[in-house]
Amino acid sequence: MKNRILILGILVIFTLSSGCVYSNSDIKEIKCFDDVLIFDENGMFVKVGEKWGKINKDGKFIVKPIFDKVCSFKNGFTVVGENNKYGVINKNGDWIIEAKYDMQPSYNDESRNFVIQENGQYGFVDINGNEIHKPVFDYILTGNEEILIYKKSNKFGIIKNDGTVITQSIFDEVYSCGRNLFVVKFEGKWGLLDNEGSYVIGPILDNVKKYSSFSEGLFPVKYDGLWGYINRKGEFIIEPMYNDAWSFNNDLAPVRYGEKWGYINKKNVFEIEPVYDTADEFVDGIAVVSIKYLEKDEAKTSLRVESELEYNVINEQNYYISMLQNFKNEVVQNGDQVYGIINKKGEFVIEPIYYNVFIGEDDINVETFDRKFGV
């Protein structure tokens, strides 16, 4: 027998027989549906046959079952499909954007607009359904609260969320690098633009960390073959002198000096000397680094890792250190790249004996050399 769904108030129970909706605690009315999607405090979407509608907490339809698909829900808006086209309704079922687009409209949190697609081209409409810009772009990307990045004729430009074009599509690449600033690539060089499309620093840079942003007021850039740090005015605060560099976090930034990585402060002084093969940015006072495992005792050829699940207090934060328990046969060979975690003094708080290490929000996962993960 076809599976149905039983709904009691806001409780959903999957059954092997017909499912029902009880309209209240007195069980005066029963309704049955083929599927449900619980969305908001106003009710849920239910499927009747092949169509979707929306009921309130009393089981009454507030949106009749007329939609072929219910695709996504965000900020009180629901993307729905009808006759192979897509649109958007509000929580009461009123059309915000009529179902006339080829792809699902996507809501942009920062600009509070919907990106739409028609005949392979992109445009955007506001939350009231007003068309801000017709679908004429090859693609539209999130910029910030006021700005979107668009692609046209294989080049990029920036446009305000009210449809005002700030720059023509003349750039090879454009990325947001923080509030009101963008890094742009033009004729092989990188520069920095503000929200009005004016250059903060012209296209003179060799490279930038294009997926990074200004952190603690500074941004790593490459100029004349070396990396340094600029402020939001485009001024060099730390002159280019490093072979590579990443963003500041916890007042320190990882930089590569020659072949090794260390950590500098904002006065361009090494707080942790460059002795590592790789170095990540600090997170809550700790950072992942790697070195090559070199066995000092020539009589030994490997290091055996023996570890169990445990809680470790690191820099006054209680991290759950997790790995699969009691591995006693993981072998680190001489010359392998091994990963561990250091504190801001450069002290190892997790020894460098692992194939990889990942820092999460409240846990640290270590991966042993047989490629097994902790959970």
For position 233, which CATH number holds?
2.40.10
**pLDDT classification of 128: cutoffs 50, 70, 90:** confident
Which among 15-24, 75-84, 192-201, 359-368 has the top mean pLDDT?
Answer: 192-201
Percent over 70 (pLDDT), the chain: 78
**Are both 253 and 304 inside the same structural domain?**
no
**pLDDT classification of 253: cutoffs 50, 70, 90:** very high
Reply yes or no on whether the pLDDT at 52 is more than 60.
yes
**Among 279, 304, 336, residue at a domain's last position:** 279
What pLDDT does 27 receive?
Answer: 40
What pLDDT does 192 receive?
Answer: 96
Percent over 90 (pLDDT), the chain: 44
What pLDDT does 334 receive?
Answer: 73
Reading the block at residue 328, the tokens are: 């006693």
What pLDDT does 3 receive?
Answer: 53
Reply yes or no on whether the pLDDT at 236 is more than 50.
yes
Any domain includes 177: no
**pLDDT classification of 340: cutoffs 50, 70, 90:** very high
Reply yes or no on whether the pLDDT at 61 is more than 50.
yes
Q: What predicted TM-score, i.e. pTM, was given to this entire model?
A: 0.76
Reply yes or no on whether the pLDDT at 278 is more than 70.
yes
**pLDDT classification of 170: cutoffs 50, 70, 90:** very high
Residue pair 258/274 in contact (Cβ under 8 Å)? The answer is: yes
Any domain includes 215: yes
**Are both 240 and 199 inside the same structural domain?**
yes
CA 209 to chain centre: 16
Any domain includes 237: yes
**Are both 206 and 230 inside the same structural domain?**
yes
Q: Which of the pair, 37 or 188, is modelled with greater confidence?
A: 188
What pLDDT does 183 receive?
Answer: 96
**Among 279, 312, 341, residue at a domain's last position:** 279
**Are both 42 and 80 inside the same structural domain?**
no
Reading the block at residue 87, the tokens are: 């649109």
**pLDDT classification of 317: cutoffs 50, 70, 90:** low
**pLDDT classification of 323: cutoffs 50, 70, 90:** very low
What pLDDT does 297 receive?
Answer: 44
Q: Which of the pair, 353 or 259, is modelled with greater confidence?
A: 259
Over residues 18-22, mean pLDDT: 46
Over residues 364-371, mean pLDDT: 72
Domain span at 31: 1-67
What one-character-per-residue DSSP string does 252-274 give?
BEEEEETTEEEEE-TTS-EEEEE
Lowest average pLDDT, out of 133-147, 264-278, 291-305, 306-320, goes to: 306-320
**Are both 62 and 80 inside the same structural domain?**
no
Over residues 14-22, mean pLDDT: 42
Residue pair 280/254 in contact (Cβ under 8 Å)? The answer is: yes
What pLDDT does 330 receive?
Answer: 53
**Are both 86 and 163 inside the same structural domain?**
yes
**Are both 146 and 198 inside the same structural domain?**
no
Separation CA 104–CA 79 (nearest Å): 7
**pLDDT classification of 273: cutoffs 50, 70, 90:** very high
What pLDDT does 220 receive?
Answer: 97
* Residues 6+ positions from 85 with CB-CB distance below 8 Å: 99, 100, 101, 102
Any domain includes 161: yes
CB atoms within 10 A of CB 134: 14
**pLDDT classification of 269: cutoffs 50, 70, 90:** very high
**Among 222, 244, 279, residue at a domain's last position:** 279
Reply yes or no on whether the pLDDT at 310 is more than 50.
no
**pLDDT classification of 29: cutoffs 50, 70, 90:** low
Residue among 235, 233, 239, 269 nearest 251 (CA): 269
Mean pLDDT, rounded, of the chain: 81
Reading the block at residue 358, the tokens are: 């990942």
Reply yes or no on whether the pLDDT at 2 is more than 80.
no
Say how many domains are in the chain.
4
What pLDDT does 161 receive?
Answer: 85
Reading the block at residue 322, the tokens are: 């997790």
Over residues 120-126, mean pLDDT: 91
